[in-house]
Amino acid sequence: MMLRYFLLLFLSLPALAADQQAEIERFLTETLGKPPVAEMLWLVGDLQPAVRAILEHDYPAARVRYWRGGSRTVWILDEIGKEMPITVGVAINNGAVERVKVLVYRESRGWEVKSPAFTAQFSGAKLAEGQTLDRHIDGISGATLSVRALSRLTRLALLLDRHVNKGATP
């Protein structure tokens, strides 16, 4: 019985990866039109402790892909909610959040963070002193860890956008 479960899971992994890639491409197209080639930002030097301060842990990769279109940057980032990663797309325009969208939600609870009514709260947000958002984000009962994950990823995208656009250290 257990072997059958693992075989089914193993065979479904390529389909899950294809679904994730399709969501990412859809978000990029909706945000940038025809997406340009991805650029890479290495999380080194002064940027590394700033990222750690926002996430409260190291980012799981040494570099982050992003896309640039005019004054807009788009970031596809992952963060653990309670137990599973949440993949989020964040578009930043002129240092402010333009759009946040949950692309892949893998948790069994807290899916309400995918709602446009929830993610709209981030629109226009900027990074304030202390690397916090300049506004309060209302939580969702039963989705506290997912709400925190989206808030951290939004703050991270704002920090990274500031870094690539101004060359400023955090």
What's the rounded Cα separation, in Å, for the pair 96 and 72?
9
Q: Is the pLDDT of residue 42 over 50?
A: yes
What residues does 41 pair with on adjacent strands? 64
Query: Range of 157's domain?
Result: 20-166
Considering the domain boundaries, does residue 115 fall inside one?
A: yes
Domain count, the chain: 1
Q: Is the pLDDT of residue 41 over 50?
A: yes
Q: 94-142: per-residue pLDDT in tens?
A: 999 999 999 999 988 877 888 899 899 999 999 998 899 999 888 787 6
Considering the domain boundaries, does residue 7 fall inside one?
A: no
Considering the domain boundaries, does residue 12 fall inside one?
A: no
Considering the domain boundaries, does residue 135 fall inside one?
A: yes
What's the rounded Cα separation, in Å, for the pair 5 and 26?
31
CA angle 112, 115, 118 (to 5 degrees): 90
Considering the domain boundaries, does residue 32 fall inside one?
A: yes
Residues 6+ apart with CB under 8 A from 98: 31, 72, 91, 92, 123
Considering the domain boundaries, does residue 89 fall inside one?
A: yes
